[in-house]
């Protein structure tokens, strides 16, 4: 399926100040190049090996976002170049990112993934775990926490999804004082193909959109 350029233009003109991360997982380099040629620079990937391969093949000025579930033993592969890691869901993982950041003489930008969906299956921290990170953060000088990321339930129930976005925004506002220790607190990553408009209404500053732009994914192909 070709890249939906009409949809891309529609989304970018509707977003105002929110940043679009084009989620290109499972999609070929040519599709990424198509959007790149239209000016898109932020791309999101979920799988470490795939991200490493694409980064090596494509333009150097792409900002690569890692949005998947990251295992500690794989941080080292993306540490040299990753722009923003969205899904930090444990202090252990954050410490490993810090270690790899130090090795590469970088400060790696991260978002804490918060568990907002009522579904059991979604990864993310609860408030107690976030508080634990808050205590540890001043010693982790090679990571910078820029904000929060969350995924709403996959639900037809629009009011439920809205409530989840709203609770994440509340948390984001409540933790604003983090900017004092982390240097930055500007990114609220929420909203995907099915719910991005609502997410922006509820205060999202960064949406992660895949299938609307690139078509449905076929994992078995
Ligand atoms: C795949 C993925 C997306 C994009 O999903 P679409 O519904 O295709 O827009 C966004 N965020 C995360 C964390 C993902 O894994």
What pLDDT shows up at residue 221? 43
Q: What is the pLDDT of residues 151-173, one digit of tens each?
A: 988 888 889 999 999 999 999 99
C-alpha 191: how far from chain center: 10
190 ligand 1 Cβ < 6 A: no
- Residue 175 CA to ligand 1 centre (angstroms): 25
Helix (H, G, I), strand (E, B) or coil at 171: helix
Question: Is the dihedral angle over the CA atoms 154, 159, 165, 170 positive or is it negative?
Answer: negative
Q: Which atom of ligand 1 is nearest to the CA of 212?
A: 9
Ranking 19-28, 63-72, 110-119, 136-145 by mean pLDDT, the lowest is 110-119
Q: How far is CA 23 from CA 84, 105, 192, 213, 215, in A?
A: 13, 27, 9, 8, 11
Mean pLDDT across 96-114: 97
Q: What is the pLDDT of residues 33-82, one digit of tens each?
A: 999 999 999 999 999 999 999 999 999 999 999 999 999 999 999 999 99
pTM for the full predicted model: 0.95
- Residue 191 CA to ligand 1 centre (angstroms): 9
What pLDDT shows up at residue 186? 95
- Residue 94 CA to ligand 1 centre (angstroms): 22
- Residue 136 CA to ligand 1 centre (angstroms): 30
């Amino acid at each position: 399926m070709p890249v939906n350029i009409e949809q891309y233009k529609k989304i970018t003109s509707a977003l105002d100040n929110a940043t679009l991360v084009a989620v290109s997982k499972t999609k070929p380099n040519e599709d990424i190049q198509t959007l790149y040629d239209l000016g898109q620079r932020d791309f999101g990937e979920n799988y470490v090996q795939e991200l490493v391969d694409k980064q090596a093949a494509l333009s150097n000025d792409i900002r690569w976002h890692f949005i998947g579930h990251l295992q500690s033993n794989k941080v080292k592969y993306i540490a040299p170049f990753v722009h923003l890691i969205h899904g930090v869901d444990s202090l252990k993982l954050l410490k490993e990112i810090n270690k790899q950041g130090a090795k590469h003489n970088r400060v790696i930008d991260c978002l804490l993934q918060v568990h907002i969906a009522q579904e059991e299956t979604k990864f993310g921290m609860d408030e107690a775990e976030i508080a634990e990170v808050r205590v540890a953060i001043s010693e982790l000088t090679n990571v910078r926490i820029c904000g929060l990321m969350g995924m709403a339930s996959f639900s037809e129930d629009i009011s439920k999804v809205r409530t989840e976005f709203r609770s994440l925004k509340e948390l984001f506002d409540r933790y604003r004082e983090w900017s004092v220790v982390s240097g930055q607190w500007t990114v609220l990553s929420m909203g995907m193909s099915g719910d991005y408009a609502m997410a922006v209404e509820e205060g999202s500053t960064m949406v992660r959109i895949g299938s609307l732009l690139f078509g449905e994914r076929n994992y078995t192909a």
